[in-house]
Amino acid sequence: MSIEWYPGHMAKAKRQVIEAMPIIDVVVEVIDARLPLSSANPMLEKLRGVKPCIKVLNKNDLADPLVTKAWVEYFERQDNVRAIPLEAKHRKEAGQVPQLCRRLAPTRGVPGKTLRVMVIGIPNVGKSTLINTLAGKKMARVGDRPAITTCPQQIDLRNGIHLADTPGLLWPDIRNQNNAYRLAVSGAIGESAMDYHDVALFAADYLLKRYAGRLTNRYKIEELPDNATALIEEIGRRRGCLAAGGVVDRQRAAELLLRELRAGLLGRISLEEPGQDVMEALAAGE
């Protein structure tokens, strides 16, 4: 299965970002700490030019802390980029963002010179949650479905900082299907553009290779199967995902695995590491 998703409002969102960018002082990109590269928008570097950027690695509580540390170091080696891992719903952690914005644009945020910050991110990554936490009230719509924000908003934090909230922005062509599958595993891609069983196979294969112990602990499987299909069937048997005649309902088992992975019930898991995209490209002969 090939995953492709670029609905019409995404093209509109890109135009809105381009139109607003000239007056922006700092760009805040909210990405998923479990898949920082796959959830980052490759168009953003070109769109922001030399403007400073803060990479907010949201959902830090769900990601492998050692891998997250490596990602922070990776991003901060880039020009005009700073990285902060946090949980967007926590006010104290979110408070690091405006503080860093002020340091990156020291001449703004004073009387007569508003500090204008654009908050950008792919759907369902926690962008609206961060904005609501910073504003101290519900300013942006939040949901568990992609594409909740559909029009731009201007939010005055009343501290010399204005936030420009943009619709969740994906890119038009996900050439690396591994990135697409990681996005689907995380919940960033809508159900209509993915097949649960297919995506669960991708997740199961990765977990067997990288986090086998988490599978053993969660599903009480002493001897793990050697392939993703068998793993999903075993999880289905142990969790009662059965159809008539005691046959494993693979769809239900796949949905259960993805739901528990997304909720952090298997522990803190990162879906990619720095340099992984290069290794995958080499393996694919690109």
Residue 30 sits in a domain whose CATH number is: 3.40.50.300
Whether 285 is in a domain gets the answer no
CATH of the domain at 224: 1.10.1580.10
Reported confidence tier of residue 161, pLDDT bands at 50, 70, 90: very high
Q: Which of 165, 185, 212 is the last residue in one of the domains?
A: 165
**85, 208: one domain:** no
**149, 21: one domain:** yes
**16, 120: one domain:** yes
- pLDDT surpasses 80 at 280: no
Q: Which of 165, 187, 205 is the last residue in one of the domains?
A: 165
What is the extent of the structural domain holding 231?
Answer: 195-276
Whether 187 is in a domain gets the answer no
- pLDDT surpasses 70 at 50: yes
User: What is the chain's mean pLDDT, rounded?
Assistant: 86
**51, 143: one domain:** yes
Whether 252 is in a domain gets the answer yes
Mean pLDDT of all residues in 119-125: 86
Whether 247 is in a domain gets the answer yes
Three-class SS state of 172: coil
Q: Rounded to the nearest 5°, which phi and psi values hold at 163?
A: -100, 135
**What is the residue type of 110?**
V
**149, 214: one domain:** no
Count of domains observed in the chain: 2
Nearest-angstrom CA–CA distance, 216 and 195: 25
**48, 147: one domain:** yes
Reported confidence tier of residue 110, pLDDT bands at 50, 70, 90: confident
- pLDDT surpasses 60 at 146: no
Of all residues in the chain, the percent with pLDDT exceeding 70 is 83
**pLDDT tens digit string along 61-108?**
999 999 999 999 999 999 999 999 999 999 999 999 999 999 999 999
- Residue among 157, 171, 174, 144 at smallest CA distance from 26: 157
Query: How many CB atoms within 10 Å of residue 39?
Result: 29
- pLDDT surpasses 80 at 6: no
Q: What is the pLDDT of residue 152?
A: 56
- pLDDT surpasses 90 at 47: no
Q: What is the full DSSP assignment across 35-75? A: STTTTS-TTHHHHHTTS-EEEEEE-GGGS-HHHHHHHHHHH
Q: What is the pLDDT of residue 185?
A: 95
**17, 150: one domain:** yes
Reported confidence tier of residue 142, pLDDT bands at 50, 70, 90: very low
Q: What is the pLDDT of residue 143?
A: 45
Whether 54 is in a domain gets the answer yes
Whether 183 is in a domain gets the answer no
- pTM (2 d.p.): 0.87
Is residue 114 within 8 Å of 161, Cβ to Cβ? Answer: yes
Mean pLDDT of all residues in 196-216: 96
Q: Which range, of 10-14, 46-50, 206-210, 248-252, averages the lowest pLDDT?
A: 10-14
**47, 117: one domain:** yes
Mean pLDDT of all residues in 149-170: 76
**148, 209: one domain:** no
194 versus 56: the higher-pLDDT residue is 56
- pLDDT surpasses 60 at 190: yes
First and final C-alpha spacing in the chain: 20
Reported confidence tier of residue 44, pLDDT bands at 50, 70, 90: confident
Nearest-angstrom CA–CA distance, 146 and 5: 11
**236, 133: one domain:** no
**pLDDT tens digit string along 243-277?**
988 899 999 999 999 999 999 999 999 999 998 86
- The enclosing H or E element of 82 equals strand 81-85
Is residue 100 within 8 Å of 84, Cβ to Cβ? Answer: yes
Whether 188 is in a domain gets the answer no
**141, 55: one domain:** yes
Q: What is the pLDDT of residue 165?
A: 84
- pLDDT surpasses 70 at 138: no
Whether 184 is in a domain gets the answer no
Q: Which residues contact 199 (CB under 8 A, 6 or more apart)?
A: 181, 184, 185, 254, 258
Strand 153-156 versus strand 161-165 pairing type: antiparallel
- pLDDT surpasses 90 at 115: yes
Query: How many CB atoms within 10 Å of residue 135?
Result: 16
**265, 154: one domain:** no
